[in-house]
Structure 1
Amino acid sequence: MKIIGIIFMVIDHINIYLGGVLHLPLWVSLLGRFVAPLFIFFIIEGFYYTHSRQKYFWRLFIGGVLMYGINLLRNILTHNTTNPYTKQFDIFYLFQGQNIFMTLALVLLWIWILDTIIVNRLHVTNYFMLIIALIVIISFILISEGGPYELVMGLIFYLCRGNFKRISVGVMTFSLLLFVHALMSYFGQVDVGTLYQTLTFDDEYMMITVLPFIYLYNGQRGGSGQKWQKNLFYYFYPIHLIIIYILSTIF
């Protein structure tokens, strides 16, 4: 499933950065919407199966910091540091770019703290401090890649873990709300293009396509268990983005 996710992730990133050059149809953007929710699903599963949650978090967090560095370098070299609306330097544009590592790390940390609050009997002071931590982390998740959507999906997968019917209801309900939001964007505003253009741009409702993959998940680790398979995503993610970033600059 991770290999399938990686393949469609590459297609999605090619579409984002090279879609115009390659004249890809707008519907290509719909193909990869299941990828981030799928990796969020595996983050929740990994939360329970990993031998060390701390090491799991730090691997993702360090990967996120690395991606910030790659995005920073790219934006400086391409002079992509100015807000197009204010025409002023914007630190958020300085670090903008793909960084699912940081999103996964933050969602994992948020779920970890939430699980600690729910499962453990803590002193009231500790409860208060952890709740403050949850609120603070949310602010960082909201500005991370796909953060608001992936936080909701993470909550659904965590709260409904092991019950596909409940997961389906949660995912379908959230996707329906996002679809309604997309329709409201089309009918409630002027100069937003055609309905087709709107639904292929505001397309997060297609996260519903993650459900067949979750249904097929059997709780077992895929592959042969070799170390390179475990670490494939950590190496492949930054390398493929560097290549796509370079190609997008050339073309």
Structure 2
Amino acid sequence: MKTKQGHFLQLTTFDIKVIGLVLMVIDHFHQNFAPFGAPAWLDWFGRPVATLFFFTAVVGFAHTHSKKTYMLRLYISMVVMAILMNLTQQIIGFEQVQLINNIFRDLFIGTIFMAAIDQFEKVKGGHAGKHISLGVLLFLLPFLLSIIMMPLLASSGSISLAQKLIMQALLAINPAIMLAENGAMVLLIPIMYIFRNVRWAQLLSIVVVAAIYGFFGSTQWMMIFAIIPIALYNGTKGRGMKYFFYIFYPAHLIFLYALAAWLY
């Protein structure tokens, strides 16, 4: 596709995030208004969203001035998001819809994997044992936390109010991969990070994962359409608005949930 100036259409990181936001709102509209009969096909618009945000997280982590600050910002957002979703459901009480959304958890888990890859890549610089050990520990961390959470979740059926609050707090602060909104699909983040300088390999990895979902009959195969904006990415950041997504994401979910509850 060409612009009026004759140049092929190119997208910045900001443009890809905006595309993801638009598709996400449509998907979440379906999530909250399904009790009203919102058509199931609206859900299809959300299938490429996680992949788009995974890609922008890879770009952001690779180019940030401070990876520790980047990870801390995502972790705080993950915890705040979990608390907000829980409080929203407790206060409004719209039982027809469950708010399990927390893309920040997926992205933070992704940064843990990317930090592990960074450690493996530092092996050539010396201290191989240290970097390999730390890399393996970081990569296994989301899985180990999942194992720890299993007995706690299994015993959540008959617990007191105090225990329930502790459980909710543990869930909020825990970057376990079993708690990730998109599950094992989060592993696409470290794959794309490994190939962060090889665009065709990133696109191929998305196609392969989409094909796996398609093989098992899941509509998540539609994530394959994320390769279009990613293929058009021109390697630039674009407009700023760093914190817009961090605010818009929980805000629009709370608004849609409250609106649906009020109308219901």
Question: TM-score interval w.r.t. the shorter chain?
Answer: 0.7 to 0.9
Q: Which ranges of 4 or more aligned residues in structure 1 deviate by more than 4 Å?
A: 78-81
Match for residue 199 of structure 1?
Answer: none
Match for residue 203 of structure 2?
Answer: 168
Contact 1:64 1:102 in 2 (8 A): yes
Question: For 1:79 and 1:117, how far apart are their aligned partners in 2?
Answer: 46
Please tell me whether residue 61 in structure 1 is matched to residue 96 in structure 2: no
Secondary structure of 1:76 counterpart = helix
Match of 2:27 among 3, 8, 12: 12
Match for residue 194 of structure 1?
Answer: none
Question: For 1:156 and 1:126, how far apart are their aligned partners in 2?
Answer: 19
Report the RMSD for the aligned CA atoms in angstroms. 2.1
Match for residue 238 of structure 2?
Answer: 222
The Cα shift of 1:66 comes to 0.6
Q: Which amino acid aligns with 2:230?
A: I
Match of 2:183 among 147, 157, 168: 147
| CA offset digits 1:192-213 (Å, max 9, x no partner) | xxxxxxxxxx321111111001
Q: Which amino acid aligns with 1:66?
A: V
TM-score, length of structure 1 as denominator length: 0.77
Match for residue 166 of structure 2?
Answer: none
Counting matched residue pairs gives 213
Match for residue 192 of structure 2?
Answer: 157
Please tell me whether residue 48 in structure 1 is matched to residue 83 in structure 2: no
Question: For 2:122 and 2:190, how far apart are their aligned partners in 1?
Answer: 15
Match of 2:133 among 108, 118, 128: 128
Please tell me whether residue 233 in structure 1 is matched to residue 236 in structure 2: no
The Cα shift of 1:123 comes to 4.4
The Cα shift of 1:249 comes to 2.3
TM-score, length of structure 2 as denominator length: 0.74
Q: Which amino acid aligns with 2:88?
A: R
Match for residue 10 of structure 2?
Answer: none
| CA offset digits 1:143-185 (Å, max 9, x no partner) | 211131122x213311222323222222111111111111xxx
Question: For 1:220 and 1:248, how far apart are their aligned partners in 2?
Answer: 38
Structure 2 gaps, min length 5: 1-15, 147-175
Contact 1:37 1:150 in 2 (8 A): no
Q: Which amino acid aligns with 1:248?
A: A
Contact 2:115 2:138 in 1 (8 A): no
Identity of aligned residues (%): 30
Secondary structure of 1:219 counterpart = coil
Structure 1 gaps, min length 5: 82-92, 183-201
Q: Which amino acid aligns with 2:183?
A: G
Q: Which amino acid aligns with 1:137?
A: P
Question: For 1:211 and 1:156, how far apart are their aligned partners in 2?
Answer: 15
